[in-house]
Amino acid sequence: MTTAVAERATGNPSAEAPYPKRWLALMVLAIAQLMVVLDATIVNIALPKAQVDLGITDANRQWVMTAYTLAFGGLLLLGGRIADYWGRKRTFLVGAVGFALASALGGLATNGGLLFAARALQGGFGALLAPAGLALLTVLFTDAKERAKAFGVYGGISAGGAAVGLVLGGVLTEYTNWRWCLLVNIPVALIALILALRIVPESRAHGNTKYDIPGAITATLGLVSLVYGFTKAAEDGWDAAATLAFIGAGLVLLFAFVVIELRSKNPLLPMRIVLDRNRGGSYLASMLVGAGMMGAFFFLTFYFQIVLGYTPIKAGLASLPVSLGVFISAGLASRFVPKIGPKPLMVLGSLLAAAGMAYLTQISVTSAYASHVLPAQLILGLGMGFVFVPLSSLALLGVPNHDAGAASATLNATQQVGGSLGAALLNTFATTALTAYLTSHQATSPEQGKLIALEAMVHSYKIAFAWGAGLLLLSGIVTLIVVKASKKDLPAESSVVHMG
């Protein structure tokens, strides 16, 4: 990533003479960021249709989400380094082209494996695109007031993009085809590419430009192996040899990653960033929150469309209250963090989010949206807003300028990785519960069989929601025990914004 004050290449605008097209450049960077953020939720609404169309099993369906988030989170730190040293504009352009090509591959996929591969490629190129865009933004806006406005626009895109993706995904799935949830990226990427070539200037950091390739490989392969082990557990059981082998290999690779980082002269993730008590606690809490949240978004879309029979558009709109809750509480949290510090808000937010997720365990085949789902989503969203705002400050607490970019990217990576692990783990629990329910409930007629099938699905979702609530509660416990920072420890203002 880049530090708050980046070194500029020859030919770039100097600090005394700001780049004249910087606001146009912001528009280009915002377009690309919107595409990356949209892609996480726009596909979520299309997932039930895609699963049926491509014959994807329940055990493997989570790969549509986790292939993207694993590649994105696992390669994000490396992508930031590449952008700084190879050239931020060049990295941005390669990321845009690659994202468009990967989206085309996914949109034309003829089977689940091809779709999973395309999603992984999207995540990989997104890991180039997103940090390059943020780094360019930091370089282009050197005036404090202008930078605050620019980051406000960029942050608003990141926050609102998820909500837009839910609605757009529903519209495209219902009126065209689920494939357009991927293909829509192609014209957006091309627009960003053409405009960037003419408007965005090149810049790069100087100095040591070595990359920690072994660290990137071991981290990504370790996470993939771990997630695949969770998937095998859904198919073969937790005690199966293949399950244990993949989970074991994943843990060994992640241990190797830590060893490599401790010994490397140019580590992908400097251990000094995560070994600080407050920052380490915030990253662990971030990962647990990401894992727990995935339960809501992943399984609610199936509940809406398969059990309640909602159209994709209605399912997208029905998912929006979570975003509304986040917007409300994030505004409140911004005011209260300087007054009471990050810890009380994060603990409160985790408890609220866990309560909202627990509320979802009360759903049934015939539940009314207004009484069972809407309140749960609002509570969940309110909790998330109270967590996210102080989490951003805490994750960068006491970080020197030269580590600010890596710390910021680490926070985003932990959310992505947590979401990946959470989707795989909760989907395994849900799939196992579904099989057990169907085995213990035998139908005596076709009509009863249909009802039992729906009840089995709801039962599996409730199990996932219960585990999700547990993960969110655990996040609050970790914050309560590990984090010690108070309002006195927070800086007056932060100049670094992490990607959402």
Which class would CATH give 276-500? mainly alpha
pLDDT at site 2:
37
Give the separation between CA 314 and CA 309, rounded to whole angstroms. Answer: 10
Residue type, 104: A
Give the separation between CA 104 and CA 109, rounded to whole angstroms. Answer: 9
Question: CATH number of 14-202: 1.20.1250.20, 3.40.50.970, 3.40.930.10, 1.10.10.60?
Answer: 1.20.1250.20
Tokens representing 196?
Answer: 């960037």
Residue 277, Cβ neighbours under 10 Å: how many?
11
Give the separation between CA 54 and CA 115, rounded to whole angstroms. Answer: 9
| Residue recorded with tokens 């190129």 | 125
SS3 sequence of the chain: CCCCCCCCCCCCCCCCCCCCCHHHHHHHHHHHHHHHHHHHHHHHHHHHHHHHHHCCCCCCCCHHHHHHHHHHHHHHHHHHHHHHHHCHHHHHHHHHHHHHHHHHHHHCCCCHHHHHHHHHHHHHHHHHHHHHHHHHHHHHCCCHHHHHHHHHHHHHHHHHHHHHHHHHHHHHHHHCCCCHHHHCHHHHHHHHHHHHHHHCCCCCCCCCCCCCHHHHHHHHHHHHHHHHHHHHHHHHCCCCHHHHHHHHHHHHHHHHHHHHHHHCCCCCCCHHHHCCHHHHHHHHHHHHHHHHHHHHHHHHHHHHHHHCCCCHHHHHHHCHHHHHHHHHHHHHHHHHHHHHCHHHHHHHHHHHHHHHHHHHHHCCCCCCHHHHHHHHHHHHHHHHHHHHHHHHHHHCCCCCHHHHHHHHHHHHHHHHHHHHHHHHHHHHHHHHHHHHHHHHCCCCCHHHHHHHHHHHHHHHHHHHHHHHHHHHHHHHHHHHHHCCCCHHHCCCCCCCCCCC
Residue 356, Cβ neighbours under 10 Å: how many?
26
Give the separation between CA 94 and CA 44, rounded to whole angstroms. Answer: 26
pLDDT at site 401:
65
Residues in the chain: 500
**Mean pLDDT per 10-residue run, the chain (500 residues)?**
38 60 89 84 89 92 90 86 86 94 96 95 92 83 77 72 85 92 93 92 75 88 90 88 94 94 86 89 92 85 94 93 89 85 92 96 94 95 89 79 74 86 91 93 88 94 96 95 81 45
pLDDT at site 208:
62
The answer to whether 422 touches 471, Cβ cutoff 8 Å, is yes
**What CA dihedral angle connects 334, 339, 340 and 341, to 10 degrees?**
60
The domain segmentation of the chain, as residue ranges, is 14-202, 212-265, 276-500
Give the separation between CA 398 and CA 489, rounded to whole angstroms. Answer: 9
* Closest to 281 measured CA to CA, from 106, 62, 480: 480
pLDDT at site 207:
63
pLDDT at site 335:
85
The answer to whether 381 touches 330, Cβ cutoff 8 Å, is no
pLDDT at site 52:
94
pLDDT at site 491:
60
Give the separation between CA 245 and CA 300, rounded to whole angstroms. Answer: 32
Q: Which residues contact 10 (CB under 8 A, 6 or more apart)?
A: none
pLDDT at site 349:
95
Give the separation between CA 72 and CA 249, rounded to whole angstroms. Answer: 21
pLDDT at site 498:
43
The answer to whether 88 touches 203, Cβ cutoff 8 Å, is yes
- Tell me if domain 14-202 and domain 276-500 are identical in fold: yes
